[in-house]
Copies of this chain bind each other. A is one copy, B any other.
Amino acid sequence: MGRPDAVVSETPATLPDLLTGLATTRAIRRLSLDPIPDDDLSTMLWHATRAPSGTNRQPVRYVVLRDDERGRAAKDVLGRGFRDGWKAKSASAGYEEGSALDPTSRKGRQRAAMEYFVEHFEQFPVVVLVCLVRYREANPYEGSSVYPACQNLLLAARALGYGGVMTGWHGPVEAELREVLGIPDGVAIHATIPLGRPLGHHGPVRRRPLDEVVFDGAWGEPAGWATDPPGTEFAGGPPPS
C-alpha cells in the first residue's frame, strides 16, 4: 500500500459523539486483513439489532462469514462476484480511461480503493450477509426493516474504530452463495457488508448541498432554512451559491 496514510486504525480511546459519528462514517473499502475480536463483532451486531423494524417484527438475520471452512467457501464465491462486478463497472463508468488513470486524481484514488477491495475480498476478516426473512410478498418498501440495521452496523463499527461498506454485489453469484450457506427460500439477501480496520482514515463525506434535496411544504419548494454548515464538502451537484 505504501501510502503515508496506510496505517491501521486502532480502537479509539473515547467514543465519538453521536452527531460526529453520523457525519464521519464513510464507505471504507481499504480494509486491514487483521482479525476482529469476537467481543467487538458481538458489540457491533448488538447495536445493529437496536434498529427499528415494522411492528418490531425483527425479521433480519445476520450470516457472519469469517475464517472457518464454510465462511471461506462463501467468501470465495463472493470474491468472484465482486471482481466480475467491478470489471463491468470500471469499463462502463469510465474507470479505465482519463483521470482514473492518474493515481493522484479523485477518480484514480477511487479506482485504487476499488481494486484493493475486490482483490483482497476473501482475506477480509469478516463479511456479514444481512438477510430478511420475508413475511409478505417482496416489495420496494421491505428494506425499511433491514437497512436501518445495516446503517447501525456501520455506525457501530465506526464507533469501535472499524469500517465497512454496504454492497449489493452478491447479486450475480447469489444462487451459488445460497447453496453454499444453506439459505432457505423465503429469505432474501439484502446486503453484503465486509468489516475490518480501515487502512487510512474515517472522515467527512461528500454530498449534494441541502438545498438540492430538502423541500419545504411541497415538492420542489425551496427550504431556505436548510443550510450546510461551514466546511461541508460537496459531491453530486454544485455547491450552494
What is the interface residue range for chain A against chain B? 35 or more
Residues on the B chain within 8 Å of A6, using CB: none
- Pick the contact of A215 from B14, B15, B61, B213 — CB < 8 Å? B61
Cβ of B218 and Cβ of A181 under 8 Å apart? Answer: yes
Closest B residue to A93 using CB positions: B55
Determine the residue in chain B with the shortest Cβ distance to A224: B38
The segment out of A76-84, A97-105, A115-123, A185-193 that lies at the interface is A185-193
Any B CB within 8 A of the CB of A5? no
Number of copies: 2
CB pair B50 A184 closer than 8 Å: no
- Would you call B227 and A42 a contact (CB within 8 A)? yes
Chain B residues with CB under 8 A of A15: 17-20
- Interface hits, A43-86 → B, CB 8 Å: 43, 45-47, 49-52, 54, 56-58, 60-66, 68-71, 74
A156 CB–B CB distance under 8 Å: yes
Residue among A66, A70, A218 with most chain B CB within 10 A = A218
The 3 tightest CB contacts between A and B, nearest first, are A143-B143, A18-B21, A147-B147
